[in-house]
């Protein structure tokens, strides 16, 4: 059963001077008990989609249904069955204890006191912060605040829970724990976990399915494995001298579908990661680079990642895409 259904969803932001198409005819279905990842660079439209699904924003056209309720016509019903958390909002009130903060958020959903108390204990135990429950928020470390934030998103026992870049700024160990929690919530409690992220590793590791989004358009939706399998073109990493860093857009090289260029200032080399139309173009690319004064030190065929899938669709990586949006 689909817990999130999105049909031909479009959202346009208009100001006096500009018109931005934030979502362009988006179609999605997310099942009950599924960890679903929305993967794309910053500015791709992930947050806009989550804002619409969490009823904060109205779509310009199209339809979205969460837990069987229309986000426009039945916004109140949607709000009752969802949870939300991101790495950017404040966790609660500084001079109030963690327990009272969680109680307050449970009351926003009308959870009875005994049920709220039970859930607070349960979540604190699950996220390992029982000993912090009676401390005021301003006394908690960042790590505990992050856990409290996750507990807050689950306090109302939501059917669908949305996380917007949840592991941003987290240490590696905490991020791992959080990812385990997402999978557990989907498997054990049959929640739909809807995750917006630009972290490829995260999407690959825990998502049952991933939608790749760029400039408001969904480019592909499938399991991470299938998405990578669809990429039938070779991915090659070329190590060059520093001159390689000034190559610019790798698509200017004949036979390159897309790629990224990164300077490794420590070893004074550049890494040019390219997706080739086919294997035969490799020699041509090397020759072209050398003709441009770039010395190729070596190359290596790589297993494709989700970013390669993204690159194969739009020609550039996340970083390049974000930079192009800033201009």
Which member of 61, 93, 265, 283 binds other proteins (CB under 8 A)?
Answer: 93
Give the count of beta carbons closer than 10 Å to the beta carbon of residue 135.
14
Q: Two tokens at 92?
A: 């609660």
* 17 is a site residue for other proteins (CB under 8 A): no
The C-alpha atoms of residue 78 and residue 200 are separated, in whole angstroms, by 29
* 191 is a site residue for other proteins (CB under 8 A): no
Contact pattern for other proteins over residues 71 through 90, marking x by CB under 8 A: -----x--xx-x-x-x-xxx
The nearer residue to other proteins, 301 or 323, going by C-beta atoms, is 323
* 167 is a site residue for other proteins (CB under 8 A): no
Spatial CB neighbours of 95, under 8 Å, sequence gap ≥ 6 = 136, 137, 138
71 and 52 Cβ atoms separated by less than 8 Å: yes
The C-alpha atoms of residue 221 and residue 23 are separated, in whole angstroms, by 16
Judged by CB under 8 A, the chain residues 31 through 70 that form the site for other proteins are 47-48, 51, 54-58
The nearer residue to other proteins, 88 or 246, going by C-beta atoms, is 88
User: How near is the Cβ of 134 to other proteins at its closest, in Å?
Assistant: 12
The nearer residue to other proteins, 43 or 255, going by C-beta atoms, is 43
| Strands 61-66 and 69-70, bridge-based pairing | antiparallel
The C-alpha atoms of residue 257 and residue 219 are separated, in whole angstroms, by 16
Residues within the interface to other proteins (CB under 8 A): 11, 13, 47-48, 51, 54-58, 76, 79-80, 82, 84, 86, 88-90, 92-96, 100-101, 103-105, 107-110, 136, 138, 152, 156
């Amino acid at each position: 059963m689909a817990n999130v259904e999105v049909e031909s969803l479009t959202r346009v932001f208009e100001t006096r001077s500009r018109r931005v198409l934030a979502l362009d005819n988006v179609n999605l279905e997310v099942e009950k008990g599924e960890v679903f990842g929305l993967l794309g660079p910053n500015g791709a439209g992930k947050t806009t989609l989550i804002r619409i699904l969490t009823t904060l924003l109205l779509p310009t056209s199209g339809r979205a249904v969460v837990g069987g309720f229309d986000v426009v016509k039945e916004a109140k019903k949607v709000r009752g069955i969802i949870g939300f958390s991101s790495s950017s909002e404040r966790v609660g009130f500084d001079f109030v204890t963690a327990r009272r903060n969680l109680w307050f958020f449970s009351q926003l959903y009308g959870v009875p006191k005994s049920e709220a108390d039970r859930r607070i204990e349960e979540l604190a135990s699950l996220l390992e912060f029982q000993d912090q429950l009676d401390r005021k928020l301003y006394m908690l470390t960042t790590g505990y605040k992050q856990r409290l934030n996750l507990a807050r998103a689950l306090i109302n026992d939501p059917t669908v829970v949305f996380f917007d870049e949840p592991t941003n700024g987290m240490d590696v160990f905490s991020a791992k724990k959080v990812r385990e929690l997402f999978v557990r919530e989907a498997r054990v409690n049959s929640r739909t976990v809807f995750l917006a992220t630009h972290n490829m590793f995260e999407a690959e590791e825990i998502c049952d399915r991933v939608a790749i989004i760029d400039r408001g358009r969904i480019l592909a939706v499938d399991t991470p494995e299938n998405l990578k399998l669809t990429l039938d073109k070779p991915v090659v990493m070329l190590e060059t001298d520093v001159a390689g860093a000034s190559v610019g857009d790798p698509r200017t090289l004949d036979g390159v579908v897309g790629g990224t260029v990164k300077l490794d200032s420590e070893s004074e080399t550049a890494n040019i990661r390219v997706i080739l139309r086919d294997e035969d173009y490799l020699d041509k690319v090397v020759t072209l680079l050398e003709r441009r004064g770039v010395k190729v030190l070596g190359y290596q065929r790589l297993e494709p990642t989700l970013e390669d899938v993204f690159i194969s669709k739009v020609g550039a990586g996340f970083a390049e895409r974000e930079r192009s949006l800033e201009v």
